[in-house]
Amino acid sequence: MLGKLIKLDFRMMRSQLKWVIPIYALLLASAFVFRSFNIPVVGTLMYVIANIATMALVPVVLVLVLSHYYRHFYTNQGYLTHTLPVTSSQRYHAKLFSGFFLYVFSSSIAVLGFFIILLTEGLSKGKAMQAINEFLQFMGSWPPQFGLSVFAGILLVLGVWILMYVSFFTMMSFSVTVGMGRRFSRYGVGGPFLVYIILYVVNQILGVLGLLFVPLSLRISFGETSLQMRVVTEMPIHNLLGIGITGQNIPMEEVIERGGGHFDFGLGVFIFALAFIVFSYFYTKRQVGKVNLR
């Protein structure tokens, strides 16, 4: 039944998404043609627009996913949703997984568009593959600088990419569900926005506390050929006070030198973030089953 719910979500969101990819493809094609041939003004303009569209593609799709979550549970569409012979857990998971599949799809299109932009830039300079080769060299060179293999670096990037979606979905679904609940429903559509603002402020406060005062840190220091990292049970605030707060950008070498040969990055911020993801998952999934549109 979960698979049928996901297919239903895809059909309902298809009408919203059917123009997004064609418009994006048109912008990319225009940038490729006009920039590759170095057409003045128009080439630069289309190139800039294509870059902006590439950066905005995934956020636009995520906003549509969030909009579908709201409409499917809390508007007239919700009457059909809540009469289906499925559990609240299945309804919630359908939104979670259908959103993730669209996230994967839009991310793949954005990556393809990014490489087309790199190719376009190379063609405009008479060196078609130069920009792509430079990017691939950078992607292969940064993991060793942090003492990681290329494979570990790829896994790290994929992990962060997945965590970004999970964090987005849990925060936004929590905001919508609580914002349309009994306490905030009198504000209408403004309820979710109000909850999001409150949640954002709380998360910022907890993030600072976790970054500075939780006794768990990633200690970064210089090795012979690369940075060395290890987890220590120290509060980062002690290291930060040793470095001093100048209000200016300080090179990493100087930061580590001021910190006594190392820099402690607080891992408590991730502990609080993961705790909220787990709490939001179970709480929101339960509350979805209590929605009453009467």
- How far lies 225's CA from each of 139, 146, 185, 209, 222, in Å? 18, 9, 57, 33, 8
Cα dihedral across residues 46, 47, 52, 58: positive or negative: positive
Residue 228 predicted with pLDDT over 80: yes
Pick the range with the lowest mean pLDDT from 15-19, 39-43, 108-112, 165-169: 15-19
pLDDT at 41: 84
**8-22, 51-65, 77-91, 172-186 — which one is most confidently predicted on average?**
51-65
Higher pLDDT, 151 or 78: 151
| CB neighbour list of residue 74: distance below 8 Å, 6 or more residues apart | 176, 180, 291, 293
* Identity of the residue numbered 21: I
**Helix (H/G/I), strand (E/B), else coil: 229:** strand
Residue 38 predicted with pLDDT over 80: yes
Residue 55 predicted with pLDDT over 60: yes
pLDDT at 172: 92
Edge-to-edge strands, sheet with 227-232: 227-232, 217-222, 263-266
Residue 284: burial class (beta carbons within 10 Å; 0-12, 13-18, 19+): buried
- Quote the pTM value: 0.86
Number of C-beta neighbours around residue 138 at 10 A:
9
Residue 188: which pLDDT band, with cuts at 50, 70 and 90? confident
Residue 82 predicted with pLDDT over 80: no
Mean pLDDT of 38-66: 90
φ/ψ of residue 168, rounded to 5: -60, -50
- What percent of the chain has a predicted confidence (pLDDT) above 70? 94
Residue 50: burial class (beta carbons within 10 Å; 0-12, 13-18, 19+): buried
pLDDT at 106: 92
On average, the pLDDT of the chain sits at 85
Higher pLDDT, 8 or 230: 230
pLDDT at 28: 92
Residue 171 predicted with pLDDT over 90: yes
φ/ψ of residue 264, rounded to 5: -100, 120
pLDDT at 45: 92
Q: Give the model confidence (pLDDT) of 91-139 as tens digits.
A: 888 889 989 999 999 999 999 999 999 998 888 887 778 888 888 888 8
- What percent of the chain has a predicted confidence (pLDDT) above 90? 36
Mean pLDDT of 13-17: 74
Chain CA centroid to CA 235, Å: 28
Pick the range with the lowest mean pLDDT from 5-14, 54-63, 234-243, 277-286: 5-14
Residue 58 predicted with pLDDT over 90: yes
